[in-house]
A = this chain, B = another copy of it.
Amino acid sequence: MTPYEFRHAVRNGTFRGPTAGHCGDFAQANLAILPEAQAHDFLRFCHANPKACPLLGVGEPGDYRIDTLGRDLDIRTDVPAYNIYREGRLAERVESLKDFWQRDFVVFAIGCSFSFEAMLAREGIPLRHVEEGCNVPMYRTNIANRRAGVFGGELVVSMRPMRGADAIRAVQITSRYPGVHGAPVHIGAPAELGIENLEHPDFGDPVTIRDGELPVFWACGVTPQTALMAARLPLAIAHAPGHMLMTDIANTSLAVF
């Protein structure tokens, strides 16, 4: 299936569920939608925290079509599940935004680690959470995001354990893809990030760390979601975790060198 076909399968209800593993050569995106009144602050927040919030695209106010992300894409119907937040709390999970759309909504599409994981896997670097069939472990850190208006909070990181030589290769590979979180932000001592126990992630699932392996930490797309919730906006919308927006952007096209 092409991303175009995939989006139409979502739109007409044929496909529901998490998007991991589908259309593997194409970028999937984290989605954030908020009223124009807060959109400028959020855009500045993303710009100031590019490792956690690498923007793949931003829509014109009111537009639910963003051609740069995909042909004939309709942001109201093409994501398998949406979370609607009111005052920072999950109010509803829906499968379409047609009844919720506002003329002042601004759409943000933020790069996702699925893209760089595809590149790592292609180069033979094992991903423990994939081997163990669970979600990648994610942790809140004590590293403050750069604040912009009402948006602040702390960086959230994902963690992938690997041997030293693989960690070096992973730095090289992911450095090429700043649009999908880029290079890791830290290797080794979790205490440097304020993480006390790797066995108890704040999001996702714990994974095995073997002898001689190092924890490698990447900035995570959950960061903008937590910032969005912490800002307690009257209304904000995001994709439901794991239910991403499928774009027409080839992962390979994101390489900067």
Contacts and interface: CB of A to CB of B under 8 A. Distances in A.
Interface of A: 163-165, 167-168, 171-172, 175, 183-189, 191-192, 211-214, 217, 257
Nearest to A170: B171
Given A163-B192, A192-B163, A187 B212 contact: no
Nearest to A187: B164
Contacts of A164: 186-189, 192, 217
Chain B CB within 10 A, most for which of A211, A213, A214: A214
Given A171-B168, A171-B171, A257-B257, A212 B186 contact: no
B212 A189 contact: yes
Given A172-B175, A214-B214, A257-B257, A167 B188 contact: yes
Contacts of A165: 185-186, 192
A16 B185 CA distance: 44
A71 B56 CA distance: 50
A204 B163 CA distance: 26
